[in-house]
Amino acid sequence: MGTEVLPSLSGANRIAGREVEGTGRIVRGVDPHTGSPLPVEFRDAGSVQVDAALEAALGSRASLQDRTRRGRALELVAEALLEDQPSLAAIAEVETGLPAARLDGEVVRAADQFRAFARVVREGAYLEAHIDRATQSSPDLRRLLHPLGPVVVFGASNFPFAFSVAGGDTASALAAGCPVVVKAHPAHPGTSELSARSIERGLAEADVDLGVFSMLHGADPSVGGALVTHPHTRAVGFTGSLRAGRALMDLAAARPDPIPVYAEMGSVNPAFVTPAAIAARGQELAATLAGSVTLGMGQFCTKPGLLVIPKDAVDFEGELVEAMTGVQLHPMLSGPIRDAFRTGLDQTAEVDGVEDLLPLRRLAGDGFVQPPVLLATDLETLRSRDILREERFGPFCLVVRAELAEYVEVAALLPGSLVASIFAEPSDDPRLEDLHRCLEERCGRIVYDGVSTGVAVSPAMQHGGPYPAASTAMFSSVGDTAIRRFLRPVAYQNARVPVLPDELRDRPSAPLWRTVDGQLTRDGICS
């Protein structure tokens, strides 16, 4: 299972390309299949290591100024990740219990994100460069987006590559020209160490100052707090629970100089199924939805956690139960995640008016294995209890029985979500317009006749939503526009050429998309 990779791990923090021993608590990875600690010890960073990483980040900013070199660095990081794919996937399988095939694919996805941002950087449109040359009535004005500065990224538990050390937050921040300090997730410390080494190798091959990237261990919450409140930190990227994300937001807001926290947090991700859809393909839909709820043991931020179906869809409920009963079980990612899931589950199941459709839910297997859970309730009960409208991170779904005319009322009760799904037939369209409009106000993405799990890395993707799905609904953490989180606009009025950024000069050194006197141009030259 990849345990041969363990001896190669140092257990150290990685600061500007160097191994640095931590001074905090000792943490070990855990095998989710057995619940047994793994042999390698990792030591949390202390205040000295936090300072060192952020001092290195601040001092290395100039190394990321050149767009051409930055784009090449991102491509070389992608190549390094793919070269190291076997060892990366092997250690992640040991630490997370996720299937090898999924982990192999996730390394490829992480590499693809770095490549995608290399393209974005080269094209230059992300800078939103505007040049309005002087006229008789207005001065010469030139504006573009400028990197914020050092960014702290918190690795996520459920995607050890795509949303962790080598994930989209790291890739987009580096692409923006911001140095990055990553706090590794304690559920996969070895995966984090190897990922950091791959990133360092790609940056070194591009001759980039390695101070632009550091990785610190921090199982103790004090490490994350020190990173968020450090005076050099200019922004935070986070994927995780609402509780932890809100704590980081509060810390950032309480600073003498508040900074943005781009947090992706709890999301119910409702799915609505019409009577016509059930009549046309009920058994198929039941299998599809059960697979989506239990994919990765329900530990996807886009998992459908609430399913709205017709009141009289008894056969469809039975098909859902059958499909979820037959799901192959895998361990959850960690003991704390499993324990939090069970606590929330107990609170939800004890609500009057909630029915247990899978009464064997409390029977657990070895390690962190947790069977799927399917509960059911009605609109009146859902309306009366806030706890039923909260995310349950794990293999769980709450079925809400309602009339089609009540679907809009259900949607209006729900908090902000990353995504919502509607399963319907063409004949339903006239009756679904109000539901669609309601979901537009509450979700970042609406999926028709498809499950919410699965997030394409595409320029048109929106992965974010109204609170509590994210700290702000203005940005996406996936796709080209994720770079926008780590940039701020700066305008130059009547500035002389030597102080202008290259991209705002009449003849920039490399072509880019920009708007000159109201006209979009690619050649970059102001005639």
Phi/psi at 464 (5° precision):
170, 170
DSSP state of 404: G
User: Which of 198, 163, 217, 235 lies closest to 82 in space, CA to CA?
Assistant: 198
Q: Are 331 and 32 in contact (CB under 8 A)?
A: yes
- What are the tokens at 348? 């939800």
Number of Cβ within a 10 Å radius of residue 93: 24
Is residue 301 part of the annotated active site? The answer reads: yes
R_g of the chain computed on alpha carbons:
24
User: Which of 277, 398, 281 lies closest to 347 in space, CA to CA?
Assistant: 398
CA dist list (Å): 95 to 103, 173, 352, 408: 11, 26, 39, 42
Distance CA 84, CA 294 (A): 29
SS3 268: coil
Of 301, 397, 438, 443, the active-site residue reads 301
Distance CA 182, CA 346 (A): 34
Of 200, 264, 319, 390, the active-site residue reads 264
Per 3-state DSSP, what percentage of the chain is helix, strand, and coil (rounded to 5)? Answer: 45, 20, 35
Helices 67-83 and 168-176 cross at an angle (nearest 10°) of: 160
SS3 13: strand
Q: Which residues contact 232 (CB under 8 A, 6 or more apart)?
A: 54, 55, 57, 58, 149, 150
Is residue 264 part of the annotated active site? The answer reads: yes
Listing DSSP states for 411-449 in one string gives HHHS--EEEEEEE--GGGHHHHHHHHHHHHHHEEEEEES
Q: Which residues are catalytic?
A: 264, 301
